[in-house]
Structure 1
Amino acid sequence: MRFKGLIAGTAAIIGTTLVLSTPAQAAYDQHPRFEQFAAELEKEYKIPPAEAKAWLSQAEKLNSVLEAIARPAEKSKEWYDYRKIFLTKKRIEGGKAFMAEHAELLAAAEKKYGVRKEVIAAIIGVETFYGKRQGRYRVLDSLATLAFDYPKRPLFWRELKAFFSLAEKEQLDPATIKGSYAGAMGYGQFIPTSYLSYAVDGDRDGKRDLWANPADAIASVANYFKRHGWRDGEPVVQRVRVAGDKYQDVVNDSRKPKWTAAELKALGVTPTEPIEDDKPAALIRLQGEKGAEFWLGEYNFYVITRYNHSRMYAMAVHQLSEELTK
Structure 2
Amino acid sequence: MSITFLHQAARGVAVSLALLSLSASIATAGNAEPKSRSASKAAKGNLRKVALSPDEQGEFANFSQWKNVADFIDEMVEKHGFDRAALEATFKKTRYIDSAVQLVKPAPPGKPKNWRAYRSRFVEPIRINAGVAFWDKYADALARAEQTYGVPAEIIVGIIGVETIYGRNTGNFRVLDALTTLAFDYPDTPNRDARMSFFRGEVENTLLFAREANLDPFSLLGSYAGAIGWPQFMPGSIRKFAVDFDGDGRVDLRGSPVDAIGSVANFLVQHGWKSGEPVAFPVTVARDETMRAWDMFIGQGLEAKFSLDELKGAGIVPTIEPPADMRFGLVDLQNGGEPTEYWLGANNFFAITQYNRSFFYAMSVVDLGRAVRTARSR
Report the Cα offset of residue 24 of structure 1.
Answer: 4.5
Paired position in structure 2 for 1:227: 270
Query: Are the structure 2 counterparts of residues 293 and 195 from structure 1 closer, same or farther at C-alpha, using a change threshold of 3 Å?
Result: same
Q: In structure 2, which of residues 111, 127, 142 is the aligned counterpart of residue 91 of structure 1?
A: 127
Report the Cα offset of residue 291 of structure 1.
Answer: 1.8
Report the Cα offset of residue 72 of structure 1.
Answer: 6.1
Supply the distance in 2 between the matched residues of 1:50 and 1:278 (Cα, whole angstroms): 59
Supply the distance in 1 between the matched residues of 2:180 and 2:271 (Cα, whole angstroms): 28
Instruction: Judge which range, 87-96 or 45-54, deviates more.
Output: 45-54
Supply the distance in 1 between the matched residues of 2:347 and 2:85 (Cα, whole angstroms): 45
Report the Cα offset of residue 171 of structure 1.
Answer: 1.9
Segments of structure 1 that go 5 or more residues without pairing to the other structure are: 3-22
Paired position in structure 2 for 1:269: 316
Report the Cα offset of residue 259 of structure 1.
Answer: 1.1
Supply the distance in 1 between the matched residues of 2:307 and 2:148 (Cα, whole angstroms): 30
Q: Deviations over 1:226-263 (max 9, x none)?
A: 11121111111111011120111111321111211111
Paired position in structure 1 for 2:250: 207
Supply the distance in 2 between the matched residues of 1:248 and 1:100 (Cα, whole angstroms): 43
Q: In structure 1, which of residues 31, 41, 58 is the aligned counterpart of residue 93 of structure 2?
A: 58
> Bigger radius of gyration, 1 or 2?
1
Report the Cα offset of residue 94 of structure 1.
Answer: 0.8
Q: In structure 2, which of residues 237, 241, 248 is the aligned counterpart of residue 198 of structure 1?
A: 241
Paired position in structure 2 for 1:119: 155
8 Å contact kept, 1:257–1:281: yes
Supply the distance in 2 between the matched residues of 1:142 and 1:189 (Cα, whole angstroms): 14
**3-state SS of 1:241 partner:** strand
Paired position in structure 2 for 1:29: 64
Report the Cα offset of residue 57 of structure 1.
Answer: 0.9
Paired position in structure 1 for 2:330: 283
Paired position in structure 1 for 2:177: 141
8 Å contact kept, 2:227–2:234: yes
Instruction: Judge which range, 35-44 or 99-108, deviates more.
Output: 35-44
Segments of structure 2 that go 5 or more residues without pairing to the other structure are: 1-33, 36-57, 187-191
Supply the distance in 2 between the matched residues of 1:93 and 1:179 (Cα, whole angstroms): 24
Report the Cα offset of residue 26 of structure 1.
Answer: 4.0
Supply the distance in 1 between the matched residues of 2:246 and 2:221 (Cα, whole angstroms): 23
Q: How many matched pairs?
A: 305
8 Å contact kept, 1:200–1:208: yes
Paired position in structure 2 for 1:314: 362
Q: Deviations over 1:65-123 (max 9, x none)?
A: 011001469x9752121111101011111101100011111111111111111111111
Supply the distance in 1 between the matched residues of 2:228 and 2:162 (Cα, whole angstroms): 14
Report the Cα offset of residue 308 of structure 1.
Answer: 0.6
8 Å contact kept, 2:279–2:345: yes
Supply the distance in 2 between the matched residues of 1:52 and 1:79 (Cα, whole angstroms): 45
Q: Deviations over 1:96-151 (max 9, x none)?
A: 11000111111111111111111111111000100111012111110010011013
1:142-157 alignment to 2 at 5 Å?
142-150=178-186, 151=192, 152-157=195-200
**3-state SS of 1:291 partner:** strand
Supply the distance in 2 between the matched residues of 1:122 and 1:172 (Cα, whole angstroms): 30
Paired position in structure 2 for 1:173: 216
Paired position in structure 2 for 1:324: 372
Supply the distance in 2 between the matched residues of 1:194 and 1:26 (Cα, whole angstroms): 28
8 Å contact kept, 2:176–2:218: yes
Structure 1 segments of 4+ aligned residues over 4 angstroms from their partners = none
Supply the distance in 1 between the matched residues of 2:367 and 2:233 (Cα, whole angstroms): 22
Q: Deviations over 1:30-51 (max 9, x none)?
A: 1111222112223443322223
Supply the distance in 1 between the matched residues of 2:59 and 2:223 (Cα, whole angstroms): 20
Paired position in structure 1 for 2:51: none
Paired position in structure 1 for 2:342: 294
Paired position in structure 2 for 1:82: 118
8 Å contact kept, 1:99–1:106: yes
**3-state SS of 1:153 partner:** helix
Query: Are the structure 2 counterparts of residues 254 and 40 from structure 1 closer, same or farther at C-alpha, using a change threshold of 3 Å?
Result: same
8 Å contact kept, 2:307–2:325: yes
Supply the distance in 1 between the matched residues of 2:87 and 2:204 (Cα, whole angstroms): 9
